[in-house]
Amino acid sequence: MASPDGKHCRSQTNGEAKPPDSKKQKITELITDDEIMSEFSHHDASVARINNGSFGACPQSVISAQQRWQLRFLRQPDSFYFNDLKPGILESREAIRSLISADDVSEVSIVDNATTAAAIVLQQMTWAFAEGRFEKGDVAVMLHYAYGAVKKSMEAYVTRAGGRVFEVQLPFPVSSNEEIITEFKLALERGKVKGQRIRLAVIDHVTSMPSVVIPVKELVKICREEGVDQVFVDAAHGIGCVDVDVKEIGADFYTSNLHKWFFCPPSAAFLYCRKSAKFSDLHHPVVSHEYGNGLAIESAWIGTRDYSSQLVVPSAVEFVNRFKGGIEGIKKRNHEVVVRMGEMLAESWGTSLGCPPDMCSSMIMVGLPSCLRITCERDTLKLRAHLRECYRVEVPIYYRSPKEGEIDPITGYARISHQVYNKLEDYERFRDAINKLVSDKFTCPSLSA
Amino acid sequence: MPPVSSGNPNLVSHILPMASTDAEHYHSGTNGEAKPPPPKKQKLCSFISESEIQSEFSHHDASVARINNGSFGCCPQSVISAQQQWQLRQLRQPDGFYFNDLRAGILESRKVICSLINADDVSEVSLVDNATTAAAIVLQQVAWAFSEGRFDKGDVAVMLHYAYGAVKKCVEAYVTRAGGRVIEVDLPFPVSSKEEIITEFRRSMERGKLNGQKIRLAVIDHITSMPSVVIPVKELVKICREEGVDQVFVDAAHGIGCVDVDMKEIGADFYTSNLHKWLFCPPSAAFLYCRKSAKFTDLHHPVVSHEYGKGLAIESAWIGTRDYSSLLVVPSIVEFLNRFEEGIEGIKKTNHEEVVKMGEMLAKSWGTHLGCPPDMCSSMVMVGLPSCLGIASDKDTLKLRAHLRNHFGVEVPIYYRAPKDGEVDPVTGYARISYQVYNKAQDYERFRDVINKFVSDKFCCACLSV
């Protein structure tokens, strides 16, 4: 931790905001396997933690950096507020801007999570309806597999304000980008059927459940061709998981969590707002005295809070750069291993993957044996709890309703993740647990409510 | 319970050792119990000593006379430690934490608050980040009422002129923008009695109803921020009811731990207070109380999650993946409070008495006065600064404050009061001093001496660089 040196706190008037240096790493030294395990030694070692996708992970060195920021605030909060906070947030924003190839740091705001970002984008729609810029019945389009919170946000801000919401039905399992592109085009047609404008398209970059990488660049292009006013890409699983180049992708708004795949502590996310976007009157719903100074400035002060998770982005970048190839290398290896693990499991269980490898990121959907009789969402929660409690395997399960006429359908898919702390044994344990459940003739209905 | 032992040495500061990394301990969550391991047990008959108090706040910068508890509050070591235990639990196994521990922990915190504030039912108590967030929740509901036609354009919202800056902006963002008309109650400062405030408030009610429009909302501070004065909220709420105001929202950012907070006594529809200012919570946490029988109860957290529609308390308990640890340590705070003789009541009483004593000491030394009588102060008091310092604007107050911080190690906010016509040698600057359990007489003596030195050096704000 920082030494409790009173002088240190008052040295901030030169605008420099970095916490005291952690142990300096030689730039040429790559992180070793032992060091990786040490960085994640606070994880419960008894758990096969193959669900990085839900809550992410944060290494010790970034936690330490976070604690240094927290201590700085506790030591002298006024000085922290006047001297350290703003430059620190700006530094984090600049680091993100560079990572995502945004033109200007003013386009990058830091918020708590993608859920908050969605509320920001959608609240702006409410005002557009209330103030007559949009008309009742104007349309918003989203994917059927959009995240639950985002669906509710659409209901709370768009439907309630008079908008009409269309869901794009996507197939799952899915075998090609073209299937998704076709459905999306169809949904846009439906949207324009009564001559109403499509005011917003919400497109996941990587859907949550079931998890599939969506061809966002192509879909954004279609939106532009169809005259959709605003395109919002929800990439909760974005940075650190798939390639995030906001100019390439071309959306008006793009959000991604930093705590899922970019090693930030809970929680932090960025919301990118293209400068040239038509509608740029976004506000943070928690209004402070910074109201009206632009979303990035508003978001950087929403009242007294612990902003430390937003301040450690530079430390997360330092961590990532200890790996061969930095974040690109991590992404590549995560993808390769999770595909290999998925194929290993599917082969052992006699099932299949939910999509081809090129439509996966660091997560993959693996079919579970149909004899487990997963018949509803409730079963997936029960099975997940059973796996956690009796086998120490943490993995989310997705329920897929069978289509008419399917024989012995696969109705359950496990979404396995791979992150730098995972080991082969994690997936082997899962493989063996399911094989045991099968040989024990276990079925979901046999689990208590 | 096993003794608290150190966990991973990399993980925690010098603050306090972590809970043992015992997997079994972690799994005690499925029976619904969510508490982290309790801190070292105290002998019931021994209250916290002076040196223990200093130890609890030893992470404060010892070189600073920290007489501004009002702005950012403070948090003792034992609560920080409890918070870190919650944080570690989430990092260890976040899924287990989410499914087994989080809800139960939030509920327990809410129950404690419900009891502390004399609310009828825990469903009336939501936990949010801070009073600023609570204001957004209440005011967003007003915006919907306008756009959905329950309120008419031009209907009125009343707030105090000294309302907190963020709340004023919030009223602009959600009420004015939606078509509401905002009336500010001008309050005198310095002020000498509750009656002055009550009179002004009544007048504003009249102005509000002038064109036959309804007063839909009154936003009343329990303790204004700058300048800081305790407002007679109970009387003002009563006036609101007599005048048929639809919704009364009390903004008590400086509420709990500072003044008496009894929901049924005060009678507002909505009441919010920060927990990190005067109730020793780490940054940051606040409660928003919503009276069950209130007319308009369709409040929502602006950050919408899958819990949308299940009531504000449930919505607020899950607004996406976040660190909820500051909301989870409320039971640990109660344990800390109970180490003081007479608990939070005793702390409030002592803080009030001491800050008045210090304020009077300063005013006497500087030849100035307090901004209001002692019975209108809480744990904070406004002390006039010598007029020869030449504080002539808000900017001057910021410059002076920075000067005091950077060169004299004194942290204190300054308020600029525009002089009235004809005033001779007006006192235009007031320092808002706070008193909390970690403060000492030396903190205020240092401030006293610095200001006296300024006066004798003929220092004035105009000589400070921009």
CA B25 to CA B19: how far, in whole Å? 9
Q: Which residues of A touch B405 (CB under 8 A)?
A: 10, 78-79, 82
Residue B5's pLDDT is 40
Q: In A200-325, which residue ranges form alpha helices assigned H by DSSP?
A: 216-225, 246-249, 295-299, 308-311, 313-320
Closest-CA residue of B relative to A303 is: B132
Decide if pLDDT at B22 tops 60: no
pLDDT digits (tens, 9 = 90+) for B353-394: 999 999 999 999 999 999 999 999 999 999 999 999 999 999
Give the mean model confidence (pLDDT) for residues B188-216.
91
Mark yes or no for CB contact B130/A82 under 8 Å. Answer: no
Which residues in chain A touch residue B165, judged by CB atoms under 8 angstroms apart? 288-289
Domain B343-463 has CATH 3.90.1150.10: yes
Write down the residue that tokens 């329920």 correspond to: A399
C-alpha span between A210 and A215 (Å, rounded)? 15
Which residue in A75, A118, A309 is closest to B61 by CB distance? Answer: A75
| Mean pLDDT computed over every residue of chain A | 93
Judged by CB atoms closer than 8 Å, whether chains meet at B302 and A119 is answered as yes
Residues of A in contact with B170 (CB under 8 A): 287, 291
Residue of chain A nearest B134, judged by CA positions: A286
Mean pLDDT, residues A430-442 taken together = 97
∠ at Cα B128 (B125, B131), nearest 5°?
100
Do residue A112 and residue B322 have CB atoms under 8 angstroms apart? yes
Q: A117 to chain B: nearest residue by CA? A: B303
- The pLDDT of residue A447 is 86
Of the candidates B401, B405, B406, B355, the one whose C-alpha atom is nearest the C-alpha of residue B376 is: B355
pLDDT digits (tens, 9 = 90+) for A83-125: 999 999 999 999 999 999 999 999 999 999 999 999 999 999 9
For chain B, domain boundaries: 85-335, 343-463
Phi-psi domain of A66 (left: phi exceeds 0; alpha: psi -120 through 50; beta: other): alpha
Q: CA-CA distances (angstroms) from residue A403 to A178, A183, A353, A409, B358? A: 21, 18, 17, 8, 77
**pLDDT tens-digit map of A151-194:** 999 999 999 999 999 999 999 999 999 999 999 999 898 887 77
Nearest chain B alpha carbon to A116: B303
Fold of the CATH domain B85-335? Aspartate Aminotransferase; domain 2 (3.40.640)
Contact A63 B11 (CB under 8 A): yes
Nearest to A152 among B140, B282, B305 (CB): B305
Same fold, B85-335 and B343-463: no
CATH superfamily of A326-444: Aspartate Aminotransferase, domain 1 (3.90.1150.10)
Cβ contact (<8 Å) for B321 and A75? no
Look at residue B216 and tell me whether its pLDDT is greater than 50.
yes
Beta-carbon separation of B129 and A43 below 8 A: no
Best A9, A22, A37, A44 residue to mutate vs chain B (most B CBs within 10 Å): A44
Cα separation, A183 vs B329, whole angstroms: 48
Query: Among residues A209, A217, A234, A91, which one has the least CA distance to residue A153?
Result: A234
Does residue B2 carry a pLDDT above 60?
A: no
pLDDT per position as a tens digit, A198-209: 999 999 999 999
Bridge-partner residues for A230, per DSSP?
A200
pLDDT over 90 at B155, yes or no: yes
- What global pTM score does this model have? 0.92
Tell which wins on pLDDT, B236 or B35.
B236
Percent of chain B with pLDDT over 70: 89
Residue B3 has a pLDDT of: 39
Amino acid at A51: N
| Closest-approach residue (CA) in chain B for A65 | B11
Contact yes or no for A155 and B308 at CB 8 A: yes
Tokens 């993946």 belong to B321
- Helices (runs of H) and strands (runs of E) counted in chain A: 17, 12
pLDDT number for residue B466:
66
Q: What pLDDT, in 10s, does the model give residues B123-135?
A: 999 999 999 999 9
Residue A26 pLDDT > 80, yes or no? no
* ipTM > 0.85 for the complex: yes
Residue-level pLDDT at A17? 54
Residue A190: the pLDDT is 82
Give yes or no for residue B162 having a pLDDT over 90. yes
- Total number of residues shown for chain A: 449
Nearest of B86, B3, B89 to residue B40 by alpha carbon: B3
Confidence of residue B6 (pLDDT cuts 50, 70, 90): very low
pLDDT tens per residue, range A318-352: 999 999 999 999 999 999 999 999 999 999 999 99
Of A13, A156, A303, the CB nearest to B132: A303
Whether B8 has a pLDDT exceeding 80, the answer reads no
Is the pLDDT score of B59 beyond 80?
Answer: yes
Indicate if the pLDDT at residue B330 is higher than 90: yes
Residue B34, pLDDT score: 57
Q: Please tell us whether the domain made up of A94-317 is placed in CATH 1.10.3720.10.
A: no
